[in-house]
Amino acid sequence: MMTSGTGTQDATVERAGELFLQNIQDGRRSGDAAAQPLRVLIVEDERALGMFLQKSMENEGHRVGWVGDGETAIEVVRAERPDLLVLDLSLPRRDGMEVLAELQEEVCSMAVLVLTGRSDVEERVRCLEMGADDCLLKPFSFYELAARCRALMRRRQAQVNPMLKCGGLAVNRMTRTVTMDGRVVALTGKEFSLLEFLLMRRGECVTRGELLEKVWQMSPTAGTNVVDVYINYLRRKLAGDNEGEDLIETVRGSGYRIQETNSVKTKAPKKPAARASEYLLRATAAAATGRQQSA
Ligand code: CA
């Protein structure tokens, strides 16, 4: 375990930092391809804010580390390579700008969100030029921070692995195109985001509240049926001319689920009308034979 070895952090911050580093390492070990929690490092010297961000992002399902100075941040980034770096600019032992300058090579492979208390446009432009993906001015709402982190990570994950596949469904997150059994399915932006979210969590039941929060950025308790309406749009577009089992399963009283690839039943092709009547004739004839034999 790395020690942060700083004279400016108090003991509590140091212990907290170590504990959270452990969380990051645990996250890497328990890697699961489909819905992998993000490994986040928060660099923030204000203890109350650091702890709040750490707790809140953990509640979002991520593994979160937190350190309180620039020098430790550089060491931890090099050792742990987090997916997302949330970096305050005003820090003891090398400020955020120096951290960005020092980590030029590493920042290319991670998403970086800079936090700043100064409304200095030039400074923010410099951060973006140095590899930061986004800047957020303090004070900020946690919802805004979380939404921006999600947007950053969606972009990052889409670059690394753009294809999401499930049965006959193929979704390209870079080009935002969808095909079902080779047929192009045209989706609106919201329909695409909903399908992408369900696919990222495939195998799990995703509640309406969670979809409202994560796809629509609405309160999970908002009294609206927008989720159900969009699920119906999606089902109709994905099914096309085919009839049969839905890719999107309704979990009664709870939400929706897309099954893991190997358990999705492929849809039976629609039987032509002429063939259907043939089957009906044969079935009727068989039933008649059965009746004659049993008589
Ligand atoms: Ca600060």
- Name the CA radius of gyration of the chain, rounded: 26
User: Among 55, 89, 32, which Cα is nearest to 260's?
Assistant: 32
CATH of the domain at 39: 3.40.50.2300
Structure-block tokens of residue 107: 């920042």
Residue 149 placed within a domain: yes
Q: How far is the CA of 68 from the centre of ligand 1 (A)?
A: 8
Residue 274 placed within a domain: no
What is the share, in percent, of the chain residues with pLDDT greater than 70? 74
Residue 279 placed within a domain: no
Query: 170 and 150 in one domain?
Result: no
Query: 146 and 195 in one domain?
Result: no
Query: 228 and 209 in one domain?
Result: yes
3-state class of 231 per DSSP? helix
CB atoms within 10 A of CB 148: 18
Q: How far is the CA of 219 from the centre of ligand 1 (A)?
A: 30
Interval 177-221: pLDDT, tens: 999 988 999 999 999 999 999 988 888 899 999 999 888 888 888
Match 């509240």 to its residue by tokens.
Answer: 209
Q: How far is the CA of 12 from the centre of ligand 1 (A)?
A: 17
Please state, in angstroms and rounded to a whole number, the distance separating the CA atoms of residues 44 and 96.
10
Query: 119 and 14 in one domain?
Result: yes
Query: 37 and 128 in one domain?
Result: yes
Query: 173 and 151 in one domain?
Result: no
3-state class of 179 per DSSP? strand
Please state, in angstroms and rounded to a whole number, the distance separating the CA atoms of residues 202 and 181.
19
pLDDT tens digit at each of 295 positions of the chain? 333 434 444 554 454 445 445 554 444 433 333 345 778 999 999 988 888 888 888 887 788 999 999 999 999 999 988 989 999 999 999 999 999 999 988 887 888 999 988 878 888 888 888 888 889 988 888 888 888 887 887 777 777 678 888 888 999 988 899 999 889 999 999 999 999 999 888 888 999 999 998 888 888 888 899 999 999 999 999 987 766 557 899 999 899 999 876 444 444 444 444 444 443 444 445 555 555 555 4
Q: How far is the CA of 49 from the centre of ligand 1 (A)?
A: 9
Query: 217 and 110 in one domain?
Result: no
Residue 249 placed within a domain: yes
Match 């492979």 to its residue by tokens.
Answer: 109
Q: How far is the CA of 165 from the centre of ligand 1 (A)?
A: 42
Structure-block tokens of residue 36: 């992998």
Residue 109 placed within a domain: yes
Contacts of 55 (CB under 8 A, 6+ apart): none
Residue 271 placed within a domain: no
Residue 287 placed within a domain: no
Q: Which helix (H) or strand (E) holds 121?
A: helix 121-129
Query: 231 and 106 in one domain?
Result: no
* Residue 210 lies in domain: 163-266
Residue 285 placed within a domain: no
CATH of the domain at 214: 1.10.10.10
Q: Is the pTM value of this prediction over 0.75? A: no
Q: How far is the CA of 150 from the centre of ligand 1 (A)?
A: 23
Query: 175 and 79 in one domain?
Result: no
Total structural domains in the chain?
A: 2
Please state, in angstroms and rounded to a whole number, the distance separating the CA atoms of residues 248 and 206.
11
Q: Maximum Cα–Cα distance for the chain, whole Å? A: 98
Q: How far is the CA of 76 from the centre of ligand 1 (A)?
A: 18
From the number of C-beta atoms within 10 Å of its C-beta (0-12, 13-18, 19+), residue 269 rates as: exposed
